[in-house]
Amino acid sequence: MNTSSAVWRKSLSVAGATALYGVSFGALAIASGLDLMQTMVLSLLMFSGGSQFALLGVIAA
């Protein structure tokens, strides 16, 4: 197997997982009442997994 193709395949799998995480976070943030700019800033400053979703729960409550 070519090393370059293995790196590309692994990179695309990480990019896909990160994109799905971002889409789900964006949808929940908008549903919780944040606007698009607030959602983008929160995602930029706090890309830390579960704590992002926990904060959305607090905001929604």
CA 2 to chain centre: 31
- How far apart, in whole angstroms, are the C-alpha atoms of residue 6 and residue 10? 6
Sequence spans of domains, the chain: 19-60
pLDDT confidence of residue 1: 59
pTM, rounded to two decimals:
0.72
Find the mean pLDDT for residues 12-34.
91
**Under 8 Å between Cβ of 55 and 42:** yes
**Under 8 Å between Cβ of 30 and 36:** yes
- Encode pLDDT of 41-59 as tens digits: 888 888 777 888 888 888 8
Three-state DSSP class for 61?
A: coil
CA 25 to chain centre: 5
For 21, phi then psi, to 5°, come to: -60, -45
Per-residue pLDDT band for 12 (boundaries 50, 70, 90) equals very high
